[in-house]
């Protein structure tokens, strides 16, 4: 998936400045100029907020949206470029390091904990398993 | 002036009634018309000839407005139905079917136990000693098991229900934070970007639910055309698959929202942050109780926001 930064989006909007009046309402042009001035300070929060506002504005004006996306050299919805997408591949799982053992006899039954909160029981003694570390500490 | 009006109307419709909302309704009603034509045995030529007999503009406008009304009304009704439909698909069934739900959940538990046992076997093999096949199976099972509730009592009869329940249970299991109490508060302290990502993920899930219901409803056209049943099954299956994907993404984002923003919740309420991960279950429980009942934190001191 193409990743486009907020700065790139704002630069593309800036580059289409000459066409704003033909595509946007007068008030919107004024707002846009103000937002870009705020973003020009370089403050990351101002850049992010301005980009969000610009994207909202572009959602309302398909012509302006096409203009900005072609300036960026992409096809499709600008907002979707900032949408979270899961990774496509298979990944190495993080370690499952907590070993749970039977408190009555730590050597005869042991299981690894997949998730915190999981209840594991010893089938022989019917008691909840405890972390192996806690048994070692007691010893 | 009039063109501008239509432009604005079209823009408004495009904004509020996106392709995701109106598209399935259009396909449903269009498919119904197609099924009717199929049933009537008329050719397209006969139908277009009949349409041409409507030679005055008023008839065309009435037809267009009527069509638009049917589309928007049915889409609005479907939007209202999406939450009850989602709950049914999750496995929250009416009381008459509750027992069946629990029985199915026990069946899920048995299958899940087999997966957990296999995961245990693979986890006991040192990472470097696992074959490529074992490593791949281990990774798949490890990810899959995370989409089931940890607490067996929370198991749902459907896969969709389990994916969402696992995510909803997560803040309680990890941080002691009750999802039902903390979610609305957490939402208000999250950044716009996080809210937007979550909203989009939820919309994707809702769209898949609506598509599923439209797909099922498409079966009513079977009365006129046999292929409507086939189309209904294909669309419903594809929508359910899409729903599982969307629910997975939504669940991942819900978990991430709690992982990254829970301290902001403590700070906004001005209650002390947990000092260690081991403390979180207790402090999270106290915070949840305080927010919901107003009790549980009487002995705590509010933190001073000026002291970081």
Query: Same domain, yes or no, for B176 and B87?
Result: yes
Residue B19: predicted pLDDT:
65
> What confidence tier does A81 reach under pLDDT thresholds 50, 70, 90?
low
Is B153 a domain residue? yes
Angle at B250 between CA B218 and CA B141, to 5 degrees: 100
Is B308 a domain residue? no
Interface A-B, measured as beta-carbon pairs within 8 A, has a size of 63
Query: Same domain, yes or no, for A77 and A108?
Result: no
> What confidence tier does A48 reach under pLDDT thresholds 50, 70, 90?
confident
Prediction pTM value: 0.78
> What confidence tier does B130 reach under pLDDT thresholds 50, 70, 90?
very high
- Shortest Cα–Cα distance, A119 to chain B (Å): 7
Query: Same domain, yes or no, for A51 and A106?
Result: no
Is B11 a domain residue? yes
For residues B295, B296, B299, B303, the Cα torsion angle rounded to the nearest 10 degrees is -90
For residues B152, B154, B156, B161, the Cα torsion angle rounded to the nearest 10 degrees is -130
CA distance B200 to B198: 5
Mean pLDDT score across all residues of chain B: 90
> What confidence tier does B188 reach under pLDDT thresholds 50, 70, 90?
very high
Query: Same domain, yes or no, for A72 and A105?
Result: no
Is A87 a domain residue? no
What lies within 8 Å, CB to CB, of B164 at 6+ separation is B90, B247, B250, B251
Residue A1: predicted pLDDT:
41
Query: Same domain, yes or no, for A66 and A12?
Result: yes
Q: Which of B157, B191, B208 is the last residue of a domain?
A: B157
**Each residue of B264-278: pLDDT tens digit?**
999 999 999 999 999
Contact B150 A49 (CB under 8 A): no
ipTM score for this prediction: 0.76
Mean of pLDDT values over B79-84: 95
Q: Which domain holds residue B127?
A: 95-157
Is B49 a domain residue? yes
Q: Is A91 on the interface with B (CB under 8 A)?
A: yes
SS (H, E, C) chain B: CHHHHHHHHHHHHHHHCCHHHHHHHHHHHHHHHHHHHHHHCCCHHHHHHHHHCCCCHHHHHHHHHHHHHHHHHHHHHHHHHHHHHHHHHHCCCCHHHHHHHHHHHHHHHHHHHHHHHHHHHHHCCCHHHCCHHHHHHHHHHHHHHCCCCCCHHHCCCCHHHHHHHHHHHHHHHHHCCCHHHHHHHHHHHCCHHHHHHHHHHHHHHHHHHHHHHHHHHHHHHHHCCCHHHHHHHHHHHHHHHHHHHHHHHHHHHHHHHHHHHHHHHHHHHCCCCCCCHHHHHHHHHHHHHHHHHCCCCCCCCCCCCCCC
CA distance B90 to B173: 20
Is B22 a domain residue? yes
| Contact criterion met (CB below 8 Å) for B176 and B285 | yes
Residue B51: predicted pLDDT:
75
Choose among A84, A90, A119: nearest Cβ to B140. Answer: A90
- Neighboring chain B residues of A62 at a CB cutoff of 8 Å: 11, 14
By C-alpha distance, which of B160, B146, B137 is closest to B112?
A: B146
Is B41 a domain residue? yes
What lies within 8 Å, CB to CB, of B229 at 6+ separation is B219, B222
pLDDT at B2 over 60: no
**Each residue of B89-119: pLDDT tens digit?**
999 999 999 999 999 999 999 999 999 999 9
Q: Is A116 on the interface with B (CB under 8 A)?
A: yes
What lies within 8 Å, CB to CB, of A111 at 6+ separation is A99, A100, A120, A129, B120
Is B302 a domain residue? no
> What confidence tier does B236 reach under pLDDT thresholds 50, 70, 90?
very high
Query: Same domain, yes or no, for B142 and B180?
Result: no
> What confidence tier does A62 reach under pLDDT thresholds 50, 70, 90?
confident
Query: Same domain, yes or no, for B74 and B207?
Result: yes
Choose among B142, B150, B193: nearest Cβ to A118. Answer: B150
Share above pLDDT 90 across residues of chain A, in percent, rounded to a whole number: 19
Q: Is A111 on the interface with B (CB under 8 A)?
A: yes
| Contact criterion met (CB below 8 Å) for B149 and B173 | no
Query: Same domain, yes or no, for A75 and A120?
Result: no
Let me know if B188 is exposed, middle or buried by CB neighbors in 10 A (0-12, 13-18, 19+): exposed
Query: Same domain, yes or no, for A63 and A111?
Result: no
| Contact criterion met (CB below 8 Å) for B91 and B101 | yes
Is B143 a domain residue? yes
Query: Same domain, yes or no, for A13 and A77?
Result: yes
Q: Which domain holds residue A29?
A: 6-82
Query: Same domain, yes or no, for A64 and A37?
Result: yes
Instruction: State which H helix or E strand residue A112 sits in.
Output: strand A110-112
Mean of pLDDT values over A77-106: 81
SS (H, E, C) B189-204: HCCHHHHHHHHHHHHH
pLDDT at B76 over 70: yes
Residue of A1, A86, A93 best to disrupt the B interface, most CBs of B under 10 A: A93
CA distance A96 to B267: 32
Query: Same domain, yes or no, for A67 and A104?
Result: no
Q: Is A137 on the interface with B (CB under 8 A)?
A: no
Residue B160: predicted pLDDT:
97
CA distance A21 to B129: 66
- Shortest Cα–Cα distance, A112 to chain B (Å): 6
Domain count, chain B: 2
CA distance B121 to A95: 14
Query: Same domain, yes or no, for A28 and A63?
Result: yes
Domain count, chain A: 2
């Amino acid at each position: 998936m193409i990743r486009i930064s907020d700065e790139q989006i704002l630069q593309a909007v800036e580059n289409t400045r000459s066409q704003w009046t033909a595509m946007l309402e007068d008030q919107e042009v004024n707002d846009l100029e103000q937002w870009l001035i705020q973003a020009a300070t370089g403050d990351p929060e101002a850049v992010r907020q301005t980009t969000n506002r610009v994207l909202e504005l572009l959602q309302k004006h398909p012509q302006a949206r096409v203009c900005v996306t072609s300036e960026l050299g992409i096809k499709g919805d600008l907002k979707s470029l900032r949408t979270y997408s899961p990774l496509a591949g298979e990944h190495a799982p993080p370690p499952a390091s907590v070993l749970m053992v039977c408190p009555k006899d730590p050597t005869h039954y042991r299981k690894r904990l997949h998730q915190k909160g999981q209840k594991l029981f010893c089938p022989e003694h019917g008691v909840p398993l405890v972390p192996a570390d806690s048994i070692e500490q007691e010893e | 002036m009039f063109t501008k009006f239509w432009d604005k109307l079209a823009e408004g419709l495009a904004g509020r009634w996106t392709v995701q909302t109106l598209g399935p309704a259009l396909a449903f009603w269009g498919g119904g018309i197609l099924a009717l034509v199929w049933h009537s045995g008329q050719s397209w030529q006969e139908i277009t000839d009949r349409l041409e007999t409507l030679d005055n503009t008023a008839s065309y406008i009435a037809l267009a407005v009527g069509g638009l009304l049917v589309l928007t009304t049915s889409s609005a009704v479907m939007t209202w139905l999406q939450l009850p439909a989602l709950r049914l698909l999750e496995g929250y069934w009416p009381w008459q079917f509750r027992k069946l739900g629990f029985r199915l959940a026990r069946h899920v538990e048995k299958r899940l136990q087999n997966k957990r046992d296999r995961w245990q076997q693979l986890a006991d093999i040192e990472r470097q000693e696992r074959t490529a096949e074992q490593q791949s199976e281990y990774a798949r099972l490890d990810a899959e098991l995370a989409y089931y509730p940890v607490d067996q009592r929370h198991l749902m009869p459907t896969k969709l229900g389990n994916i969402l329940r696992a995510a909803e249970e997560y803040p309680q299991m990890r941080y002691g934070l009750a999802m039902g109490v903390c979610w609305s508060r957490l939402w208000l302290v999250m950044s716009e970007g996080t809210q937007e990502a979550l909203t989009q993920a939820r919309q994707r899930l809702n769209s898949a639910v609506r598509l599923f219901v439209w797909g099922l409803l498409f079966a009513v056209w079977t009365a006129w055309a046999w292929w409507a049943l086939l189309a209904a099954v294909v669309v419903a299956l594809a929508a359910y698959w899409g729903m599982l994907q969307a629910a997975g993404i939504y669940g991942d984002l819900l978990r991430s929202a709690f992982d990254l923003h829970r301290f902001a919740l403590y700070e906004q309420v001005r209650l002390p942050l947990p000092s260690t991960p081991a403390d979180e279950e207790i402090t999270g429980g106290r915070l949840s109780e305080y927010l919901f009942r107003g009790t549980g934190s009487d002995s705590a001191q509010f933190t001073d926001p000026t002291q970081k």
